[in-house]
Chains A and B, each alone.
Chain A
Amino acid sequence: MAGGPGNVILEVRNLVKHFHLGGGFLGREPAVVKAVDNVSFEIRRGETLGLVGESGCGKTTTGRCVLQLERPTSGEVMFEGKDLTRLSEAELRPVRRRIQVIFQDPYSSLNPRMTVGQIIAEPLAVHDIVPDRAARAARVLELLSLAGLLPAMARRYPHELSGGQRQRVGIARALAMEPGLIICDEPVSALDVSIQAQIINLLEDLQANLGLTFLFVAHDLSVVRHISDRVAVMYLGRIVEITDRKSLYDDPKHPYTKALLSAVPIPDPEIEARREHIVLGGEVPSPLKPPSGCVFHPRCPIAIDRCRTEVPDLREVTPGHRAACILA
């Protein structure tokens, strides 16, 4: 990272997103899914915050709330000094330019009827970033080259490209807006392993050269460790642990984080044979009926009676290392 992390670019405070599901008929309680339940974190300019967790933990919804694609139920999203939750749709338009997204499946996010060149040029024209046609064509080639694509790609259609090439197009399009923050939502999980490494290296090079800031949402703990400066682990809508990369992976405090790390198989049979595996029982409970007390207690290998009733705070266990576990 060029020059180390700078000032805070994004601060999320007490973010809550509830989805109301029908119900309420004949006086019955309407069902509420607490998709994101009191989540707070910050990202400094030039750094990567990894957001990990299993499906349904709220990591993608958190990303969408940052973008205001979902309006949060409560809480603040401070981006470059403005609280985005208070802005109207019109006021959000210029902000959306500053926050870009790279999606998991680039194919469904690229217009199949447009050439790669048109896909990248469109936002440049719409947002009046490069109004002049010739200059725009030159900028498209520059962006393609930044994303590691040959100029000839500009004339191709998305269906002619491989998965890795499509993801590069998605990256070039995001870069076109010169964003302050890029939300990467599972950007490599649909790609083959040999191609994953190409895209991860590209994202890292771009960050170093252009000073980009990433919110990296993913479920693959090895990939998150590689790319992130700090990591937040989510479970059932809450952050259960957040700290810098090294502390999280070398000294995890939350039993869920420990189980997640243990569940990742290591590509070495000798190590796997020696390694102790924590296999969690049960499954993630329904967010419609989250457990009482600590939401992790029904699956927790070390839970005690107090965990059933007491909701643990995300407290600082060691300097800079926060975990939501009374036993941490």
Chain B
Amino acid sequence: MDVLLDVKDLQTQFTTSGGVVRAVDGVSWDVKPGETVALVGESGCGKSVSALSVMRLVAAPAGRIVGGQILFKGHDLLAVSEEEMRKIRGREIGMVFQEPMTSLNPVLSVGRQLTETVEIHLGMSPARSRARAIELLTLVGVSDPERRLSQYPHQFSGGMRQRMMIAMALSCDPPLVLADEPTTALDVTIQAQILELMKGLSRRLGVAMLMITHNLGVVARYADRVNVMYAGKIVERGTAREIYANPRHPYTRGLLRSVPRLDEPRRSKLEPIPGQPPDLSRMPGGCSFAPRCAYAVEHCRAEAPRLESVGADHLASCWLANELDRAPQHAAAVPR
């Protein structure tokens, strides 16, 4: 099997009082066994909704998946029954969320939350599931796991809760884990611990990972391949090295230039992307990044570009992707 998860032309919408929001607007990406793929972008770009769509956890009735396919091991998850889907969540695809406190049950002990999953999905006996829970907590570096089993989430620190989330996600040995901003709420030294742990475990256990984040540094350190999202669409995709060394979409370039970097001499000025992301219920025609783009030409406002190959394993959706280095730049005239 060369593709584990193959998302094709996914479209997820939300109906709001302000109109229909196309949160994910015809997006395709895939994950191969054992690799770490990043979905990177800013708030509202559709990266979390993409992951929720894979799990079929988009909040109905406001949110709906209106088109596309989600092929997991070749089966379309959008076509399976809710009952089958429940067998896939947790057993075949694990999830780690940003804020562990809101995704853990506060009135169940840590041990129960770990044993419940393996008892339901794998039919383990209470004795075996307890042994498995101890094994899992040890795996994620929680010391004194036997005593910890009888504790409750509020007795865990933020870092320890995230370790517990990872233990739960891995409890059934799933081939794929979706991690949505797994370290955003954590302090930087704890973030480093958790990311090293996830990287080590994914290599050791051969788990593929979809990492959703806004942090370009985290992506650079951990991802094999990167999808950059903007306003509900993927605007650039490639290997991590290619995306960072040779970004071909003006948005990717803008993101990379707007962050101060510790390894470079301090610049006197940062180069922000002017303006702000568009309102997804009132999308402009043409390329959705054009209003903020320093390279935009007339054609960009008239017709939306498609994600097209710009090199080996490298795609970008920009009319000027092949001539960005030569293209003239102008100050984008966006009101603040």
Residues of chain A at the chain B interface (Cβ within 8 Å): 54-55, 148-150, 162, 164-165, 168, 192-198, 200-201, 204, 219, 221-223, 225-226, 245, 249, 259-272, 277, 279-281, 283-284
Q: Is the CB of A279 within 8 A of B259?
A: no
Q: How far is the CA of A249 from the CA of B221 in the complex (A)?
A: 20
Which one, A195, A259, A267, contacts B276 given CB within 8 A?
Answer: A195
Interface string of B278-307 (1 = CB under 8 A from A): 000000000000000000000000000000
Q: Which A-chain residue is minimally distant from B279 (CB atoms)? A: A162
Q: For residue B196, which residues in chain A have a CB less than 8 angstroms away from its CB?
A: 277, 279
Give which listed residue, A193, A201, A265, A280, contacts B221 with CB less than 8 A: A265
Task: Please name all residues of chain A whose beta carbon is closer than 8 Å to the beta carbon of B218 when the two chains form the complex.
Answer: 265
Cβ contact within 8 Å between A263 and B258: no
Contact A267 B261 (CB under 8 A): yes
Query: Taking A149-B336, A150-B336 as contacts, is the C-beta distance between A249 and B262 under 8 angstroms?
Result: yes
Q: Is the CB of A277 within 8 A of B192?
A: yes
B260, A226: Cβ atoms closer than 8 Å: yes
Contact of B214 among A55, A193, A219, A263 (CB under 8 A): A193
* A148→B336 contact, CB < 8 A: yes
> B209-249 CB contact bits vs A (8 Å, 1 = yes)?
00000111111110100000000000000001100110000
Number of A-B contacts (CB under 8 A): 133
Of the candidate stretches B63-71, B74-82, B267-275, B320-328, the one touching chain A is: B267-275
Residue in B254, B262, B266, B273 whose beta carbon sits within 8 Å of that of A266 in the complex: B262
| B335 at the binding interface (Cβ < 8 Å) | yes
Contacts of B16 in A (CB 8 A): none
Q: Are B258 and A265 in contact (CB under 8 A)?
A: no
Contact of A279 (CB < 8 Å), options: B192, B254, B336: B192
Q: List 8 A-B contacts (CB under 8 A).
A: A195-B276, A196-B272, A222-B260, A249-B262, A259-B189, A272-B220, A283-B190, A284-B187
Instruction: Specify which chain A residues have a CB less than 8 angstroms from the CB of B216 in the assembled complex.
Output: 193, 267
What are the residues of chain A within 8 A of B124 when measuring CB–CB?
none
Q: Give the residues in chain A near B144, CB-CB below 8 Å.
A: none
A283 to B189, CA, bound (A): 8
Is B272's CB under 8 angstroms from A271's CB? no
Chain B's closest residue to A271 (CB) is B263
- B261 adjacent to A194 (CB under 8 Å): no
A265 / chain B contacts, CB cutoff of 8 Å: 195, 215, 217-218, 220-221
Say yes or no: A201 contacts B270, CB within 8 Å: yes
B-side contacts of A267, CB under 8 Å: 216-217, 219-220, 244, 256, 259, 261
B192: A residues at CB distance < 8 A: 262-263, 277, 279-280
Asked if B60 is at the interface (CB within 8 A of a chain A CB), the reply is no
- Taking CB atoms, residues of chain A closer than 8 Å to B17 are none
Q: Is the interface of A mostly helix, strand, loop or mixed?
A: helix
Known contacts A221-B188, A265-B220, A267-B256; is-contact A198 B157 (Cβ 8 Å): no
> Which residue of chain A is the closest to B292 with respect to CB atoms?
A194
Given A150-B336, A201-B270, A269-B244; A283-B159 close (CB under 8 Å): yes
Taking the closest CB of chain A, its distance from the CB of B217, in whole angstroms, is: 3
User: Are B266 and A225 within 8 A (Cβ)?
Assistant: yes
Size of interface on B: residues with Cβ below 8 Å to A: 48
Known: A162-B276, A272-B221. A260 touches B241 (CB 8 A): no
In the complex where A197-B270, A221-B188 touch, is A192 in contact with B214 (Cβ < 8 A)? yes
**Which of A219, A223, A261, A269 touches B260 (beta carbons < 8 Å)?**
A223
Question: A281 to nearest B CB, angstroms?
Answer: 8
Contact of A194 among B42, B245, B335 (CB under 8 A): B42
- Once bound together, how far apart are the Cα atoms of A283 and B160, in whole Å? 9
Contacts A197-B270, A201-B272, A264-B188 aside, 13 further interface pairs with beta carbons under 8 A come to A149-B336, A193-B216, A194-B255, A197-B258, A197-B273, A200-B270, A222-B260, A225-B262, A259-B189, A265-B195, A266-B220, A267-B219, A272-B217
Inter-chain contacts of B193 with A (CB < 8 A): 279-281
What residues of A have a CB within 8 angstroms of the CB of B272 in the complex? 194-198, 201
A264 proximity list for chain B (CB < 8 A): 188, 217, 262
Query: B residues within 8 A CB of A193?
Result: 42, 214, 216, 255, 258-259
Beta-carbon nearest neighbor of A272 in chain B = B221
Name the distance in Å between A202's Cβ and chain B's nearest Cβ. Answer: 9
Bound CA–CA A45/B256 (angstroms) = 33
Given A222-B262, A226-B270, A270-B245, check contact A263 B188 (CB 8 Å): yes
Q: How far is the CA of A284 from the CA of B192 in the complex (A)?
A: 14
Contact assessment for B261 and A222 in the assembled complex, using a CB-CB cutoff below 8 Å: yes
Inter-chain contacts of B271 with A (CB < 8 A): 197
Indicate if the CB atoms of B336 and A165 lie closer than 8 Å: yes
Most chain B C-beta atoms within 10 Å of own C-beta, residue among A148, A168, A245, A280: A280
Contact A260 B189 (CB under 8 A): yes
Q: Check A54–B276 contact: CB distance below 8 A.
A: no
Contacts A55-B187, A149-B336, A265-B218; A194 near B266 (Cβ below 8 A): no
The yes or no answer to B191 lying at the interface (CB within 8 A) is: yes
- Is B43 interfacial (CB-CB < 8 Å)? yes
A283 to B196, CA, bound (A): 15
CA distance A54 to B183 in the complex (A): 14
- Give, as a whole number of angstroms, the nearest-CB distance from B336 to chain A: 5
For B221, what are the chain A residues with a Cβ–Cβ distance below 8 Å?
Answer: 265-266, 269, 272
- List the 9 closest A-B pairs by CB distance, nearest first: A265-B217, A197-B272, A54-B187, A194-B273, A267-B216, A192-B42, A263-B192, A197-B258, A197-B270
Bound CA span A261–B271, Å? 23
A245: which B residues are within 8 A, CB to CB? 266
* Residues 131-177 of B contacting A (Cβ, < 8 Å): 157, 159-160
Q: Are B261 and A196 touching (Cβ within 8 A)?
A: no
Given contacts A192-B214, A223-B260, A266-B220, contact A260 B188 (CB under 8 A): yes
Set of chain A residues within 8 Å of B240, measured between Cβ atoms: 269
Question: Which residue of A has the minimal Cβ distance to B157?
Answer: A283
* Cα–Cα, bound, A165→B334 (Å): 13
Which residue of A is nearest B258, CB measured?
A: A197
